[in-house]
Chains A and B, each alone.
Chain A
Amino acid sequence: MSEKQKDFIRIRGVSKLFGDFVAVDNVNLDIGRGELFSILGGSGCGKSTLLRIMAGFETPTAGTIEIDGVDITHLPPYERPVNMMFQSYAIFPHMTVEDNIAYGLRKDRVARPEVTARVDDVINLVKLGEFRKRKPEQLSGGQRQRVALARALIKRPKVLLLDEPLAALDKKLREHTQFELMAIQDQLGVTFIVVTHDQEEAMTLSSRIAVMEKGCFLQVGEPKEIYEYPTSRFVADFIGTINMFEGTVTQLGDETIIVNSAEAGTNLHALGDHAVEVGQHVCIAVRPEKIFISRDEPENADDIKVRGVVDDLGYFGNLSLYRVRLSSGKVIQVSSQNRQRSAKRFVEWEDEIWVSWRPRSAVVLRD
């Protein structure tokens, strides 16, 4: 494939109002060719509306959408180079698996031999060979999902929209299907746009994620970027778990800032060039796995160290979770890998311990 087109999909100033309610609020976004892009957000954040606008089921109140240089904003759904996989799968109950899959080609009046050949191809792709003559009610949830996927892929759309593609599957099947979906996407090179409320799903599936809230994108970036460098409290809190310490900036250095936080009971250092001023109210956020637990005072002088008491602990096999109550009364979460095999816990309930982290592990979040 030639050089990847960065603005294969161009969304410009798209808004959608339902009466007074702003479902989508002036959204701008570029999605590259062949990307697996996720729009992540809670229910009612506008992600499904945005997807429906792209599919052509809603007309945006303002703004334009271009795919591969063509403005599709006002095209009806059946004239767009886009197909959608519905959350309910929307498989036609009165048609066999085969007829469901072939439907899109038949509507395009594709010659019969070609329909057969292409149906064979996608049926093999989603491994539904033995079920092709079945009716949808004779299929399991996972099989239906495959029918929906095959039906949406057969027209070789430029963009495939997937509305909560895995939400209806149970956990084991979901994990398995996730990787299959990625493999199929990789094989076909079709641009996928996935709408999901499940942050884990978005993290593993996507090349990039847009976090959406109240009709706006709060942050767009690669999964790692979103996790490690959240730019807002909402994103930090929505993706994974995070401990937040409220405080005021007391000192600005070249590379570090110092924040006085009553919640932490100490001064917190954070690295980075942040556009903050002395006296500004900020929030220092640290992920649980970035925090260390020790019985004795940690030696490294640069680290941030706070005393605490183990409030609760949970053993999860591969890792342990601790809830630590700091002297200020704030409870934070710490997680650690169980590297050593041991039947004995190295800390117990109500043990007095130290928690510590590197200044570079902390994220500074402005209001």
Chain B
Amino acid sequence: MAAVKQRDWWERVTIAVPYLWLLVFFLLPFAIILKISLADPVIAQPPFTPTFDEQGSLSITADNFLFLLTDKLYAVTYLKSIVMATAATILCLALGFPMAFGIARSAPSTRGVLLLLIILPFWISFLLRVYAWMGLLNNYGVINNMLIWLGVIDQPVRLLYTDFAIFIGLTYSYLPFMVLPLYATLERMDIDLIEAAQDLGASRTEAFWDVTWPLARAGVIAGCLLVFIPAMGEYVVPYLLGGPESLLIGRVLFDEFFVNRDWPLASAVTIMLLLLLVAPIVFMQRNQAREIDAQQ
């Protein structure tokens, strides 16, 4: 009896630790951000009004959120971030799927090397890698010089500080996050299944859509979320590669916080971003739950 009780107690502790972690480092900061987003900015230390005034009565405002909804700049920025992140996710998927498939089907001896090559960029600072892209994309960079040398163009094309540069940067940065989960699902897939489909009358393309794609769905969803979510809030890539006019939500957030010192508005921007991201996360959660259900 005592032993069972002790095990119960241990189980509770092991479950409690991660929850406590999430509470302290996620929920609590979130509550603070929420609180700030409902305050007014003031030039003071801290730069926002307290939630309870001197009389002790609640003093909150929805002004920040209303401002986000009325000023067109924010709507446009959110929309542009979504478009950019979506485009980068689609390109990552289009590039990452064949890569993951190729790695999963390669000989076991070369598979390790290929996976290492995917992970290798993580060993170099993210910032440095984005700087390297500046070198590649600028007017006298490798790409322009190459195109001039080939005679395709005679004047350098502006590549750096454009939306195109952001798009390339995002795709480059998050490609490994697409390849790895896809590889994990494709590697487990039985090659016989594709042959069985072909044997039963499916062409290569049909076999792909009937068998490979549905069986890789879990990996596709995981990969897309791993790319889309961070790409949505990305700050470094648009800051370094994008032009002054290419405003993405990460950049706006940074500017509100550090340049305008409008903490309440910056917090409201964050909360809004979170709400936008919750939708795909919930979708994934439900999808996973359904998959687990189906397996039982």
Contacts and interface: CB of A to CB of B under 8 A. Distances in A.
B206 A107 contact: yes
A107 B200 contact: yes
Given A78-B199, A78-B203, A104-B201, A94 B192 contact: no
Interface in B182-231: 190, 192-193, 195-203, 206, 210-211, 214-215
Given A90-B196, A92-B196, A78 B215 contact: no
B110 interface: no
Interface residues of A, number: 26
A71 to B, nearest CB: 19
A229 interface: no
A204 B203 CA distance: 37
Interface in A267-315: none
B201 A155 contact: yes
Contacts of B192: 86-88, 90
Contacts of B294: 135
A92 B211 contact: yes
B204 to A, nearest CB: 9
Given A78-B203, A135-B294, A90 B198 contact: no
A137 B291 CA distance: 13
A107 B295 CA distance: 26
Interface string A94-115: 1000000001100110000000
A83 B200 contact: yes
B195 A78 contact: no
A1 B14 CA distance: 72
Contacts of B201: 78, 104, 107-108, 155
B141 to A, nearest CB: 44
B206 A77 contact: no
Contacts of A108: 201
A40 interface: no
Contacts of A91: 196
Interface in B145-204: 190, 192-193, 195-203
Nearest to B201: A107
B193 A92 contact: yes
B214 A78 contact: no
Contacts of A86: 192, 195-196
Contact of B200 (A88, A94, A155): A155
Shortest 3 CB-CB contacts between residues of A and residues of B: A107-B201, A104-B200, A90-B192
Interface of B: 190, 192-193, 195-203, 206, 210-211, 214-215, 294-295
Given A84-B196, A90-B193, 13 more contacts: A55-B199, A57-B195, A78-B203, A86-B192, A87-B192, A90-B190, A90-B192, A90-B196, A92-B196, A93-B193, A94-B215, A103-B197, A155-B201
